Amino acid sequence: MAAPTAARLYSLLSLMVFLWSLNFVIGKIALREFPPLLLAALRTAIAGVVILPIFLVRVRRRPAHWSGRDVLLLLVLGVLGIALNQVFFVLGLGHTSAAHSAILISMMPVFVLVLAAIRGQERLSTRKFVGLAIAVCGVIVLQGARHGGDASIAGDVYSLLCGVAFAIYTVFGKSVLARHDTVTMNTFAYLGGALALSPVILWNAAGHFSFGAVSLKAWLSVAYMAIFSSVIAYLIYSYALAHIAASRVSAFSYLQPLGATLLSIPILGDSISAPLLAGGALVLAGVYTTERG
């Protein structure tokens, strides 16, 4: 099979960034009608159902074998990287703006670096320390960008914890990826996350939430979060990693806060403040410096 052209790869990566940026805005819309925990549970469960057939086709073409330990580890990683990540993501969106959430979640590479350094996988150079300090200063400045009733310290903390949860998933999943492909890891992760969050769905289905009162717009928002931002964007990411350097793929993540901010203005009516711009610039500069240190 011929290698994809650069134009095709970068077009797909641009689509991925758009899907992930829009996810912050769509999430805010879904939260108007769904409780945060239920939204996280539904998104995870639907994504698991959608990606499972893709995984089964892949296994049929390339048979694989897993030990009981492998299955348990993959499911535990799913609880950490998917269930907790999704819960903190929607809790953050429910208490802060889409722009705040996108900027703070972009701190995830810094958290990965710190955890990897603790485990001896990375070295903390002087430049990385400087980048970490710049990013932290950006978070502090962002606290001056809280305006109206849509942004709070609690929301910012939840967004940061979302990045921490996925950082744990990334660092501890490194050894798993040495034995299993990314589709396998992601499928088990979503299934593990869905199992962990299934009591939330069952509890709400038992009369604690009126699913029939939810509008079509809200259901479509959940479907978008599960299918487009969770499955399709991920498959694009994996496809790009197979053909170009990881550093080039990860560089596209810096565009997400910009995309989320620009999309939130016309769709959600959000406004832009000087502290938001300054804090966002510092966070992104710090993350960039840390990754290049």
> What is the pLDDT, as a whole number, of residue 148?
46
Query: What is d(CA 29, CA 123) in angstroms, rounded to the nearest whole number?
Result: 41
Query: What is d(CA 121, CA 249) in angstroms, rounded to the nearest whole number?
Result: 21
- The pTM of the full predicted model, rounded to 2 decimals, is 0.83
Q: Residue 120: left if φ>0, alpha if ψ -120 to 50, beta else—which one?
A: left
Give 145's DSSP letter. Answer: G
Listed in sequence order, the residues at least 6 apart from 11 whose beta carbon sits closer than 8 Å to its beta carbon are none
Q: Are 279 and 103 in contact (CB under 8 A)?
A: yes
How far, CA to CA in Å, does 96 sit from each of 47, 100, 209, 219?
A: 25, 6, 24, 22
41-66 confidence digits (pLDDT tens): 999 999 999 989 988 888 887 776 77
97-134 confidence digits (pLDDT tens): 888 888 888 787 778 778 877 877 677 788 878 887 88
Q: Name the nearest CA neighbour of 263 among 12, 18, 39, 93.
A: 18
136-153 confidence digits (pLDDT tens): 788 777 766 654 445 677
Kindly tell me the sign of the dihedral angle through the C-alpha atoms of 147, 150, 153, 155: negative
How far, CA to CA in Å, does 88 sit from each of 10, 45, 81, 208?
A: 30, 16, 11, 22
Q: Name the nearest CA neighbour of 227 among 48, 15, 12.
A: 48
The 3-state DSSP class for residue 259 equals helix
Q: Name the nearest CA neighbour of 201 among 46, 68, 79, 89.
A: 46
Mean pLDDT (the chain) is 82
Query: What is d(CA 239, CA 87) in angstroms, rounded to the nearest whole number?
Result: 27
Q: Are 131 and 293 in contact (CB under 8 A)?
A: yes
227-252 confidence digits (pLDDT tens): 999 888 878 876 776 676 555 666 67
- Structure token digits, residue 1: 């099979």
